[in-house]
Homo-oligomer: A and B are copies of this chain.
Amino acid sequence: MGEKVLMKGNEAIAEAAVKAGCRYFFGYPITPQNEIPAYLSWRLPEVGGVFLQAESEVAASNMVYGAAGAGARVLTSSSSPGISLKAEGISYIAGAELPAVIVNMMRGGPGLGGIQPAQSDYFQATKGMAHGDFHLLVLAPSSVQEAVDLTIDAFALADKYRNPVMLLADGMIGQMMEPVEFTREIDPETLPDKPWATNGAKGREKNIINSLALDPAELEKHNLKLKAKYDQMKEEEVRFASKGLDDAETVIVAYGTAARIAASAIELARQVGYKVGLIRPITLFPFPEEIINQTADKVANFLTIEMSTGQMIEDVRLAVNGKKPVHFYGRTGGMIPSPEEIFEQIKIIGGAKE
């Protein structure tokens, strides 16, 4: 521990899960996240855990549902089409208030789409993942090290809220290698007991894991309880990184891979006098509304960069709430925007300089 190693994002996430005390993985192969199951297929048995390749994503998410209900720290990972198949199961996990961590290594869509990096599942992750009033807590790393750190946090957050947490990244984060350090390691034996788990009703009342409530009044109560959790997340869990907000005239909002590239573009732009800042949401739900809203009082405009045709921009606009224009630039289908392209957009918004 504590030593730097060079790892692929996917493998680093897998190792981070183990370090977080996760001992159960259920998943189904799909590019570009296959290194996660491949890694865990030898690593979990090594630490006494269970790796099981499910017959499908539908089965995988229900195995996760079962294992989470049984009290385990449990992980599943997939990429876009596979996540869509997990939707119903995820809704059950959220409805039954179970902790679980789900990785979505996004690729281009819709349909079979492609396998290159994309960010076109933002809406799915933050809003309409499945039926019913619920939210995932969504974490968006922009480096391999951050993927590691957020994976470890993800398990803790899932337990804290008894809610599924999604690590939302793209094929680039999953496939690239960067140096990482593992500074934390959690022994699952030391984790607090889950008194609600289905592990046999020995000497206690029976436990029930369930999301059914035929009485609407009861279901409404449940919905409001869930909502209170999401509100608490909004209070306590918002994370973002920012840069150059002090003097910025234009602020780019971007997450994950897009944010890294935006940072490059900002450097280019600052070299020639454009005052550009960056707000990088790290939690996508809860979304860092407040900082964006406050920043809107100081800057001239916003530029949202996404590897999609425009999804997060809605949250940015909701946060800006009409105070300033919010521009958009996106690439899709596996195309990665270049710093130069973004710089061009900055120029268009910021007017002539020099």
Contacts and interface: CB of A to CB of B under 8 A. Distances in A.
Interface of A: 58, 80-81, 83-85, 87-88, 91-96, 106, 108-116, 118, 120-134, 210-224, 226-227, 308-309, 311, 314, 317-318, 320-323, 331-335
Given A110-B92, A335-B216, A123 B115 contact: no
B111 A331 contact: no
Contacts of A121: 128, 131-132
A333 B91 contact: no
A70 to B, nearest CB: 17
B91 A213 contact: no
Contact of A213 (B92, B323, B333): B333
A331 to B, nearest CB: 7
Q: How many copies does the complex hold?
A: 2
Nearest to A92: B111
Interface centre among A116, A126, A218, A320 (most CB of B within 10 A): A116
B215 A114 contact: yes
Given A114-B215, A217-B335, A124 B120 contact: no
Contacts of A314: 127, 314, 318
A229 B321 CA distance: 27
A108 to B, nearest CB: 5
A133 B309 contact: yes
Contacts of A106: 131
B131 A128 contact: no
Nearest 4 CB-CB pairings of A with B:
A109-B132, A322-B322, A95-B111, A111-B211
Interface centre among A93, A221, A223 (most CB of B within 10 A): A223
Contacts of A92: 110-112
B112 A212 contact: yes
B211 A110 contact: yes
Interface centre among A92, A111, A116 (most CB of B within 10 A): A111
Contacts of A112: 92, 95, 210-212
Contacts of A128: 121-129
A96 to B, nearest CB: 6
A273 to B, nearest CB: 30
Given A91-B81, A110-B92, A110-B95, A219 B131 contact: no
